[in-house]
Chains A and B, each alone.
Chain A
């Protein structure tokens, strides 16, 4: 099951957040976004530092109740998807969201100001369509 998704910019701003399933609501969403962004930076940094063989990228972590999948583009956009812990590898899906949906509907839109929150209806619609079609969505 897919819970929710975050997209962060290079300077740690949350550009987009969406939740599909989330029984437990966040106390403060802003606080959560900020902390998650910080946590991910710290994890990525640490994970690649202790790697005995270079290079190393952080992909996911799981807890007893959820799994966080992470993808970072070289241009500094970062995405995280939360799913239930039994979900397999989501790298391909995250690459698709970045390469097809994000680049096409957000970055290539000349009227989108880089670093601003994503409000593109087309992007939101296509993303929702893609996510809800994934086999492990429900």
Chain B
């Protein structure tokens, strides 16, 4: 049985988004502080990321990336479609500083969401940053992932900013 036979199970869209919504609302109730909720979401994403990366590797059978550009491509065009069902765009790729922005045009997680004014500081999908950070860390790539813009906060598009913390020669994916 080779990799090509592996299938990804699909989950009902509403169940997925409602479950995630419920997690965020529970966190908001428990912590009552938007910044802390952002942190918690990031932490949750991190623990998911370090587990999800094996699924990703087994499914795609990717080899080591030769440079950071490849890594960016793998995240945007392979990992996003695999787990969320849509590709992300790459913008402002900076070869020297080793940083880029992931642009999320579609995002099933925020389909039904509208942020009330008192939660304006919340990055609703901050879990994604944690996931990216966690999975790349398992591949010896230390990055910083941060939400820069979010549609829910009134920006024209959602953007996750990712920058590399170490020499990319050691990195792989």
What's the tally of chain A residues with a CB closer than 8 Å to chain B?
18
> 1/0 contact trace for B138-165 toward A, CB 8 Å?
1110000000000000000000000000
**CA separation between A103 and B63, bound complex, in Å?**
18
Distance in Å: Cβ of A100 to nearest Cβ of chain B: 7
Chain B residues near A25 (CB, 8 Å)?
none
Most chain A CB neighbours (cut-off 10 Å) among B51, B55, B140: B51
Q: Is B62 an interface residue (CB 8 A)?
A: yes
**CA separation between A114 and B51, bound complex, in Å?**
9
The answer to whether B6 touches A99 (Cβ under 8 A) is yes
Distance in Å: Cβ of B52 to nearest Cβ of chain A: 8
The answer to whether B64 touches A75 (Cβ under 8 A) is no
Chain B residues near A75 (CB, 8 Å)?
53-54, 57, 138-139
**CA separation between A92 and B3, bound complex, in Å?**
9
The answer to whether A95 touches B3 (Cβ under 8 A) is yes
Evaluate whether A98 and B58 lie within 8 angstroms (CB atoms) in the complex, with A92-B1, A114-B50 already known: yes
What's the tally of chain B residues with a CB closer than 8 Å to chain A?
21
Distance in Å: Cβ of B154 to nearest Cβ of chain A: 35
State which of B6, B51, B54, B140 has its C-beta within 8 Å of the C-beta of A73.
Answer: B54
**CA separation between A98 and B57, bound complex, in Å?**
10
State which of A74, A95, A114 has its C-beta within 8 Å of the C-beta of B2.
Answer: A95
Chain A residues near B64 (CB, 8 Å)?
55, 74
Chain B residues near A92 (CB, 8 Å)?
1-2
The answer to whether A77 touches B2 (Cβ under 8 A) is no
Evaluate whether A107 and B55 lie within 8 angstroms (CB atoms) in the complex, with A95-B2, A99-B6 already known: yes
